[in-house]
Amino acid sequence: MIVTIDGPAGTGKSTVARILAERLGFEFLNTGAMYRAVAYACLQRQVELANTTAVGDLAGTLEILFSNNHLLLNGLDVTEAIRGQEVTQSASIVAANPIVRKRLVELQRQVGQGGNLVTEGRDQGTTVFPDAECKFFLTASPAERALRRQRELNAKGDAISLDELLQQQELRDRRDESRACSPLKPADDALQVDTTEMSLDQVAAHLERLVQRAKAELDASFQRR
């Protein structure tokens, strides 16, 4: 069974997906981190993000692996490094690159072959796994999303105003929603969940109930065959 969780930044996708995967005993795939890894590699090697071909060529040379909730880029643990502000802003530019998306979609589908998976991102239910058994699209108010990001940065010692975060968030949303390749939008058959007034544990518990119900229905259907 594949469970997809899509939505914009700050809605809790990554944390909820990780919690849900642990509760279900499924594998967890953080696709947002994969795009961040490519952006990080571009910044480290001073590859111009607007150079579609150069960024795409670099993406094709990168080895991106997950191990025990850590992301390894060519064998180097970059889990924390890819969470910086510069990488965050660069990731949405990289994600609009069709060459990069093609490469990473291939990797993501390889992970999903023949197993139980909870995967989060922006196009998991629409493009990567259109036949997934359970699809969710998380939303939250812009203010709440920015506040969550501010808390995350403050915990790391990075101070940034809420107004600046809101501006960055609006720009990133526009990029994600308007890109020609796999724009951010809910799948037609995705259940939309507003997380504004919910803790991430509450969101994960809600999704778990829905997945278990769907799983039971699938099992019953299989037994009737």
One DSSP character per residue, the chain reads -EEEEE--TTSSHHHHHHHHHHHHT-EEEEHHHHHHHHHHHHHHTT--TT-HHHHHHHHHH--EEEETTEEEETTEE-TTGGGSHHHHHHHHHHHT-HHHHHHHHHHHHHHTTTS-EEEEESSIIIII-TT-SEEEEEE--HHHHHHHHHHHHHHTT----HHHHHHHHHHHHHHHHH-SSS-S---TTPEEEE-TTS-HHHHHHHHHHHHHHHHHHHHHHHHH-
Distance CA 215, CA 116 (A): 11
Q: Regarding predicted confidence, which is higher, 16 or 84?
A: 16
As a whole number, mean pLDDT of residues 2-10 equals 96
Domains of the chain, first to last: 2-207 (3.40.50.300)
pLDDT of residue 217: 86
* Out of 34-38, 39-43, 118-122, 172-176, least confident range: 172-176
Distance CA 21, CA 200 (A): 13
pLDDT of residue 225: 66
pLDDT at residue 65 is higher than 70: yes
